[in-house]
Structure 1
Amino acid sequence: MARTPFGDGDPIIREDEYRLLRDLVSARIGINLASTSRQSVARRLRERLSVLNLASFTEYFQYLRFHPLARHEWEEAVELLTTNETYFFREDFQLRAFSDEILPMLHERNKARKRLFIWSAGCATGEEVYSIAILVDQSKLFSGWDVRIFGSDISRRCVATARRGVYGPASFRATPPDLRRQYFVERADGSHILDSIKPLCHFGQMNLLDEDKARILGRVDVVFCRNVLIYFDAHVRRRVIDIFHDRLYPGGVLLLGHSESLLNVSTAFELLHLKEDLVYKKPTLAQSSAMANRS
């Protein structure tokens, strides 16, 4: 077993081992581990080596690739390697644009079929999904419609938390007090999302690189993928954006985080200029045909 120079017996991660793990993690779950994160990754994963009685990170790499129980171990590794920080009504300027401009646009476009489907990709513990549901409810535009808001995350534990719909004080750092009183019930174990909102929200574990699961999800009118692409390299970002494009209805909208853009990633979307934000729109069939005729 490789030892640290301080003699405490913990396995170190060599540069060649880290490159192997980094490439495997990128290929499997899309996360781009920085070259400067080697020691941080080692600290996070050392416990798993101990649990599995492995002597080195090379053995751990082989376990993730070939062991019959590798699928379970990937779930453990995901929990240790991913960041799940979120809260209700995060980036509220964008949510205002969604509420004030995007929802009325979708109401007008979909009023014949009376259906609104939204996907929160990388939803973490679910606060974004419930925030969206609250805004849809507040709009009063979709009464009697088939409204479904899907939340997906690669972390099974995050999905379990989201389905439970019970949150502590940290989740409400940006929530107006009146909304918290209106849409949550305070109980001893935390703040419970209102029963009338919860049925609108559906959660499932999903790797964003899994095209088959994305197809099962179906077509959607809006994709929220905020502060997720920053963890991917350029190749993975393109793959994920292609999946979003495929799953959006023509005219559907993609909302990214404030520090994210499709520059050098995709030309398949057009910019939609809103009062407080810039978002991306999948061209309609007529627009796509016009663009093809011009090219």
Structure 2
Amino acid sequence: MIYPDGEALLRKKIGLDPNSIGSDAISRAFEQRMIECGIRNINSYLEKIQESPQEWDALIDSLIIPETWFFRERESFKYLQQYVISEWLTNHKNTVLRVLSVPCSTGEEPYSIAIALLEAGLKPTDFHIDAIDISKKSLLTAQTAIYYPYSFRGNPLSFQERYFQHQEIGYHLSEKVKNQVHFLHGNLAKTDFLMGTPAYDIVFCRNLLIYFDIVTKEQTVKLFERLLNPEGLLFVGHAEAGLLVNSRFASIRHALAFAYRKSTVTKSPINFHDRQNNKKNSSPNGQKRIINRNYQPKTKLQTQLIAIHNNHLSENTKNDLLTTSRKLADQGHLTEAIELCNNYIKQNRVSVEGYVLLGQLQQAMGKNEDSLQSFQKAIYLQPTHKEALTHLALLKENQGDIINANLLWQRIQRLNNNL
């Protein structure tokens, strides 16, 4: 059953676009909480969450599952260190670097920022990190700062040895790092979010915009403009690069970092109305969290792959391949996600969306040549696809092909001017 009033309430309170996760997922969350509360009528439950902050928190936690690990999308942290070493330390002596991580989930991202800054040469008194999330449950985990192997995938053992103490229950983060991060509860979708707070030099907000409705997207981009100092850096997720193409932020063009600065050139007002498909392209690396769709990756993956290899796919299964591929990517199963995406493309050879997702997955796996080909195929099918053009331009720059990269940036600019 679909609950339109419930969806409307989520849109109003947290800016959620119901289409980004699907009405079925939202309905399951409502029904789960109604069972827990012993309530059968949706109107009665809606009244309860309006009156009970505790039940509202429980509903949020049933919709949102933290999905993050230390130094996820590592190039962002590498560029952060490069910026601090080459620019910040030189031009901002006797100044405290202010950093915002939102949403901060269970803490892996803000703690990664703290470690990156310490290793870049900053002293603990040189920087301040605010970490904000809408989930009180996630914040409690973050403040406890005890982690398990799943949070360290992709990192060398020396990383754990330097900053964590392995105890009987998990890995305990060192107090030196833990004390650098100040956790706060907050809702980014509120118009008065951090109103009156001094501006930040760095903002990490990765893979959240794709879940917002149009109004909240626009509101959040304007919020970033307010929160950031003139020379500040904004880090977003992989899938959100396309959302900022026509904003007042300019890419710093560091491959796979997806960092932006306020543009010195006034551009036309941001318009998300022509970019609705972008919200479906969930980034395999940029997201801090995934939305609970009651997905069981191993069980469903095994079922899907058996069907694929036996060539007994139903039409519904074919249509679900891209959705399943994105879910697997969000869970960190990139190899399996690529396999499903390739099988989708075999049956949908003119799917721009399929080639863009495949390119993102290949890029996340470090297969840049394969990624180039995928984005080129997407552009061949749709020459005006800004997200594919942006990814391709960044890859060309990373390879040192500045001439062709500049041609792509000029092409993107012409598209912007024609809006």
Tell me which interval the TM-score lies in, with the shorter structure as reference length: 0.7 to 0.9
Q: Residues 74 and 26 from structure 1, CA distance in 2 versus in 1: closer, same or farther, beyond 3 angstroms?
A: same
Match of residue 75, structure 2, among 68, 85, 93: 93
- TM-score with structure 2 length normalisation? 0.59
Bigger RCO (CA 8 Å, 6+ sep)? 1
- The residue aligned with 2:171 is 191
Corresponding residue number in structure 1 for 2:252: 272
**1:208 maps to 2:208:** no
Backbone CA RMSD of aligned residues: 2.3
Name the CA distance, whole Å, in 2 between partners of 1:197 and 1:245.
29
TM-score (norm 1): 0.82
Deviations 1:70-121 (A, max 9, x none): x22211111011131110010112221222235532223322x421111011
1:226 alignment partner, SS class: coil
Runs of 5+ unmatched residues, structure 2: 268-419
Give the aligned partner of residue 136 of structure 1.
117
Residues 97, 276 of structure 1: 8 Å contact kept: no
Match of 2:101 in 1: 120
Q: Does the C-alpha gap of structure 1 residues 76 and 92 become closer, same or farther in structure 2, counting only changes over 3 Å?
A: same
Does the CA-based 8 Å contact 2:236-2:258 persist in structure 1? no
Identity across aligned pairs (percent)? 29
Aligned length: 267
Measured in 1, the distance between the counterparts of 2:157 and 2:65 equals 27
Q: CA deviation at 1:38?
A: 2.8
Q: Helix, strand or coil: the match of 1:277? A: coil
Give the secondary structure class of the aligned counterpart of 1:87: coil
User: In 2, distance between residues paired with 1:204 and 1:257?
Assistant: 22
**Which structure has more strand as a fraction of its residues?**
1
Match of residue 59 from structure 2: 77
Q: Is the 8 A contact 2:129 2:181 kept in 1?
A: yes
The correspondence of residues 1-295 of structure 1 with structure 2, limited to 5 A, is 13=1, 15=2, 18-34=3-19, 37-65=22-50, 68-69=51-52, 71-101=53-83, 104-111=86-93, 113-140=94-121, 142-143=122-123, 145-215=125-195, 217-261=197-241, 263=243, 267-274=247-254, 276-283=256-263, 287=264, 291=266
Larger helix percent: 2
Where structure 1 has 5 or more consecutive residues not aligned to the other structure, the ranges are 1-12
CA distance in 2, matches of 1:20, 1:75: 18
Structure 1 residue matching 2:238: 3-state secondary structure: coil
Compared with structure 1, are the counterparts of its residues 104 and 131 closer, same or farther at alpha carbon in structure 2 (3 Å cutoff)?
Answer: same
- Decide which moves more: 168-177 or 35-44: 35-44
Change in Cα spacing, 1:192 to 1:84, as seen in structure 2 (3 Å) is same
Moved more, 30-39 or 143-152: 30-39
Do the aligned partners of 1:117 and 1:149 also contact (CA within 8 Å) in 2?
yes
CA distance in 2 between partners of 1:35 and 1:148 (Å): 33
